[in-house]
Structure formats: C-alpha cells, structure tokens
Structure 1
C-alpha cells in the first residue's frame, strides 16, 4: 500500500498551481500561501537522489522564500530519507496512516451530514476547523476558498451543522488519484465533541469517494482516541509517512 499512497502524493502535488519536478522529486507550490503544509515536495517511488538533486530541490524552495520540506511514505522510496539526512534535513514527525476500502467501510448514519453550498457554509467550516485545531491557523477567505476548490475540483467537503446553523465539525477528501484518496482535516469544535461527528463525516467522505471509483481512502491520525474513531468506521493500519525539513 505504501507505493499506492506515494503515487497518490506525487499525483496530488502535480495538481498544485506551480508544480516542479526536480531530480526524482515533485515539489508542489501554491503562490497564494507560504504555508509549509501546502508548499512541500515528495519523491517518486523508488527515487535515489544524489547530492545535486537535493541541492536543486533546496534551491527551488529557497528562491521562493520557503522552507524546504517533504512528506512521503519512506518504504516506497527507501533511499530518500538517508540522502536527505546527509544533506542536513531532520525529521519533523512520523505519522501512521490508516486505509479504508469499500469492503471494510461501516456507514454511520446517525447524524445529518451535509455538503457545503454557500460562501457562509465554507466560511463556517473554515472557522470551525480553526477552532478544532486549537486556532493554529486563523480563519481566512483563502481557507474558505481552498475548501470550495476541493469540493468543486473532484474532491469532497462534508460537515455537520450545529443547532445555531454554524459548523459543528467537518472534514475534506482530495480528488482521487491512482484509485486512492486522502481524507484530511477531520475536526470537531470542542463544544460538540463526543457526539459522533468525526465518525459521521469520515464515513460520508469515504462513501463518496468509493462511489466515484476510488478503491481506497487513507488518512493519518493524531492519537489513540482518533484512531479508535476511524477504526470503528472501517479504517485499519497500513503504513507510515515521514515528514522532513531543512532549517535555515
């Protein structure tokens, strides 16, 4: 499964407004933001980069004023992490990921899960996710627009509405590539947790992607509590992803 996830990462970055291929890497750049979580690179499966390849990749980030950063499944390109470490890159994090397939999905229909349709919906989702993740990123017009682009460009955004009409919790799924799709940004506002919202939006998104022909949906999780939520929906452990960056 690591190769499928890594092939997805490559295809996903090639969708960026400014995608660049350098010495066995694909770097995806979006001029609308300097976020390192959007502007990053990933290796082609099986890549064996040399010093010049990595130096060229670093230069592509530096000339844009961005931190050189990569996300990838290390088992799909075993030579990459050692080569990056020799060039001074360090590990930010190692995240396990889970996979769901049509045969393992367990639908959760207890809550009404909606598809956003108005600017107010997208803004409310962006604000709710900001709150859900501890206000690590502020709500913004660009954040709401990015969610709309996900929905309109083959991906999906789903949310559960709070009693006051705002967003209680939401998540999104990227458009499928190489028959798989990444589900990300599952977040519930603190006041609405423990009501099954994360499970409901996760199951709804996976079901949507399978209806569009994806053979699997994968996601990363942040703790044992969230892992148990995803496993109840039908996700199971499948591998790890490595995050590496180069400091100034």
Structure 2
C-alpha cells in the first residue's frame, strides 16, 4: 500500500526534473543539478536505492557539488531515510529539522482574505512578490521585525530580484508554479507559491514582510494557494514549516504534521 511518505518521496524525486534539473547518479544518492539559470537543487536519497548512504557516499556528492560550484545541500525525510543524518554529520554538515505537514483535505477551509490574490506571469507586482520572501527568510521567525516597504524597495533594486522575477515568471507561464500575494495600497506584504506535480502540490516560500507580521497575511496567502491547488486537481498538498511556531500557524490552515524534513548544509563560517 502506498503511504503518504511514499507519495512525497516520488514528488521530491520528480519536481527537480520537471524544473529542468539534471539527475546525477551516486548510488544511494541522487544529485540534481539545474541546467542553465534557475533554482539550484540538492542531493537526496535515490528512489529504491537498495542500500543506505554512507559518509563516503556523501563525500563523493560533496566533491561533485564543489566541482560544479553549486550549493552543498542535502534534503530528505527523517522517517524515510533515518540513517542519512549520521552520514551527513560524519561528513561535516549541519542538519536543520523542519516539521513536514500535509493538508487534511476534510478540514474546514479558511475564507478568502480580501487582500490576497493570485499573480500571473506578467503581473507588475511580481518582482515585489519574489523579493518579500527573501526579506522574510533573512529575519526568520514570527515576531514583528524592522524590514518594511523601504527595505522591500531596496531589495527590488538588486539584480537578483530581476533574475528571480524572470525565473518565476517562466514557471508561472509554464504552469509549474502558482503564486499568491497579499497586497495593501499597492505594496506586497506577503507572498508564497505552490509547485504542482501530477496530483501533488508543495506550498513553498511563504514569507511576510517582517514589519507586517502577525496580521494573518501568511494564513491568507496559504489558504489562497491551497484553494487554487485543490481547484486544479491536487489530492495531496504539503509543506515544510520553518519551526514549531510556524507549524502551529499552518495547523490553523488545516495542515497536520506527518514527519520531519531535514536539510543538511555546511556550518556557517564566522563572520558570514
């Protein structure tokens, strides 16, 4: 019988390929490498690998990531690949844990938020919508922060903002992502996306401008993404929450924790 974690494993293996990444085989691990410009992916356990990855396997992948000058990143589900954490830690990486949550499709849906709408590929607010999460994740947590409209305007002026807009615009046009934003007086205060593969959709990158937190905007954006995904035929909608506090917010949108998503990266360097 296929379990929800089996479904998520297949999604994790498929979504980079749909996004244009090349898959490189390292036995029990697969490294996804983005062709050209775009989101840089990760290494993760190979489907039906037949054996657990060792620290030596992890080192081989790390060497290849360094050769390609791509992020030294691994992502996996703790309950599905329980031995991988020890292998990546033995290779010197630091592991971050995040609640992995799946939507209860029978849960009562939240009403539409009046300030939230879906954005298209040519929407003039798209640059702002891809810039807000970058500011949000630079100041993580749920507490109200300092960054507001002025910081957003500065972020939008950076070259990376235009690169992000072009990348997301292409994905919106191709139907490989959808984006919702909370907009007040012409300013994007919160934004997020979902990425569909078949009848599975992952909600990703929901972030609120730090100065606009604790106003229900992230819940409104998430509810809009969920409603759109279900309307387009999704049967499984899931996400990874930043921490337990964020997970409690998502539980109000009908998500329940099913497992733990793990991300391994090199330790932060002093002064970085």
TM-score, length of structure 1 as denominator length? 0.84
Instruction: Show the counterpart of 2:76.
Output: 72
Retained in 2: the 8 A contact 1:97–1:241? Answer: yes
Residue 175 of structure 1 aligns to a residue whose secondary structure is strand
Structure 1 unaligned regions, length at least 5 = none
* 1:122 CA drift (Å): 0.8
Equivalent of residue 61 in structure 1, options 65, 77, 82? 65
CA distance in structure 2 between the aligned counterparts of 1:167 and 1:11, rounded to whole angstroms: 31
- Distance verdict in 2 for CA 1:246–1:109, change over 3 Å: closer
Residue 233 of structure 1 aligns to a residue whose secondary structure is coil
**CA RMSD in angstroms, aligned pairs only:** 2.7
- Distance verdict in 2 for CA 1:17–1:45, change over 3 Å: closer
CA distance in structure 2 between the aligned counterparts of 1:226 and 1:110, rounded to whole angstroms: 19
TM-score, length of structure 2 as denominator length? 0.77
* 1:238 CA drift (Å): 0.8
String of CA shifts for 1:57-115, please: whole Å, max 9, x gaps. Answer: 233312212343210112223343344444x1423301111110321252232424212
- Distance verdict in 2 for CA 1:85–1:196, change over 3 Å: closer
Q: Are positions 1:159 and 2:159 aligned together?
A: no
Q: Are positions 1:97 and 2:97 aligned together?
A: no
String of CA shifts for 1:8-49, please: whole Å, max 9, x gaps. Answer: 11111222433123123332223426x7xx331111245323
Instruction: Show the counterpart of 1:146.
Output: 167
Retained in 2: the 8 A contact 1:112–1:160? Answer: yes
Residue 119 of structure 2 aligns to a residue whose secondary structure is coil
Structure 2 unaligned regions, length at least 5 = 141-151
Instruction: Show the counterpart of 1:121.
Output: 125
Residue 100 of structure 2 aligns to a residue whose secondary structure is strand
Equivalent of residue 219 in structure 1, options 239, 254, 257? 239
Displacement over 6 Å in runs of 4+: none
CA distance in structure 1 between the aligned counterparts of 2:170 and 2:259, rounded to whole angstroms: 29
- Distance verdict in 2 for CA 1:126–1:67, change over 3 Å: closer
Equivalent of residue 257 in structure 2, options 234, 237, 246? 237
- Distance verdict in 2 for CA 1:85–1:130, change over 3 Å: closer
Q: Are positions 1:15 and 2:36 aligned together?
A: no
Instruction: Show the counterpart of 1:41.
Output: 43
CA distance in structure 1 between the aligned counterparts of 2:249 and 2:243, rounded to whole angstroms: 10
